[in-house]
A and B are shown apart, each in its own frame.
Chain A
Amino acid sequence: ETGVTQSPTHLIKTRGQQVTLRCSSQSGHNTVSWYQQALGQGPQFIFQYYREEENGRGNFPPRFSGLQFPNYSSELNVNALELDDSALYLCASSPRGGTSSEQYFGPGTRLTVT
């Protein structure tokens, strides 16, 4: 069984640029959530995707957007990067329905904005 994978591992961007982060969900999981973890903080929910549509959003501006594809993989896009966007971005997948609400996390993408 393949776990959650994310790419790239590390990324350095300049303020004002745009970035795309990628996530492949665990086999059998059709829901993907994205979290931002700033240094020294707990992860903060950005948004969630189910059936290729956004299914809940945290307190993040519209320049944070996403996609989910038919194979349940997902992208996180951030436009007009700001210095405060520097963080570890975590993707988590989960199965849909039932009582199983566990989220399984990938290793993350470390984004540095200079």
Chain B
Amino acid sequence: AQSVTQPDIHITVSEGASLELRCNYSYGATPYLFWYVQSPGQGLQLLLKYFSGDTLVQGIKGFEAEFKRSQSSFNLRKPSVHWSDAAEYFCAVMELRGGATNKLIFGTGTLLAVQP
């Protein structure tokens, strides 16, 4: 069955430091991969997505992610974290359903805290 694993439940970084959030997926075919961010009490905002092509994808708010098929990973990175980046981050894989719009399978999330 398709699944997404986010090994880090909680991460704390200092403002200005670099960030990497890990995501591993299990999927039989070429995956469609996403990173979403959720601020407290809010819905999910799409940061970036990978469908095909260049394995390094750029997103909003200075985030990027790299798809590595050999490692079944899609890690999220940011060179310099801002205090406003504190939020929960979800990695997701889209389960394809033969032409229909498809469902997302989410990891359990990584809660990011930013120290001043």
Pick from B42, B101, B109: contact of A48, CB under 8 Å: B101
Which chain A residue has the least Cβ–Cβ distance from B90? A42
Contact, CB under 8 Å: B104 / A103:
yes
Tell me the nearest residue of chain A to B41, going by C-beta. Answer: A110
Q: A33: nearest residue on chain B (CB-CB)?
A: B103
Contact residues in A for B34 (Cβ distance below 8 Å) = 102
A55 touches B (CB below 8 Å): yes
Q: Given A90-B44, A104-B46, A108-B42, do A43 and B97 touch, yes or no (CB 8 Å)? A: no
The reply to whether the CB of B113 lies closer than 8 angstroms to some CB of chain A is no
Asked if A50 is at the interface of the complex by the 8 Å CB criterion, the answer is yes
Cβ–Cβ contact B101 & A43, under 8 A: no
Point out the residues of chain A lying under 8 angstroms from B97, CB to CB.
Answer: 56
Is A105 at the interface (CB under 8 A from chain B)?
yes
Question: In which size bucket is the chain A interface?
Answer: 20 to 34
How many interface residues does chain B have, given as a range? Answer: 20 to 34
Q: 1/0 contact trace for A86-114 toward B, CB 8 Å? A: 00001010111001011111111010000
A50 to B97, CA, bound (A): 13
Contact (Cβ within 8 A) A90 B103 = no
A33: B residues at CB distance < 8 A: 101, 103-104
Contact of A56 (CB < 8 Å), options: B43, B46, B100, B107: B100
Any A CB within 8 A of the CB of B51: yes
Query: B70 an interface residue at 8 Å Cβ cutoff?
Result: no
Residue of A nearest to B44 (CB): A105
| Chain A residue at minimum C-beta to C-beta distance from B96 | A101
Instruction: List, in ascending order, chain A residues with CB within 8 A of B104's CB.
Output: 33, 35, 43, 45, 92, 103
- Chain A interface residues toward B at CB < 8 A: 4, 6, 31, 33, 35, 40-45, 48, 50, 55-56, 58, 90, 92, 94-96, 99, 101-108, 110
9 smallest A-B Cβ distances: which pairs? A42-B106, A105-B44, A45-B103, A105-B43, A107-B43, A31-B101, A108-B43, A94-B101, A42-B108
Residues of B within 8 A of A (CB): 4, 32, 34, 36, 41-46, 49, 51, 90, 92, 94, 97, 100-109
Please name 8 pairs of A and B residues whose Cβ atoms are closer than 8 Å in the assembled complex, sorted by A. A4-B43, A42-B92, A42-B107, A43-B90, A56-B97, A90-B44, A102-B46, A110-B41
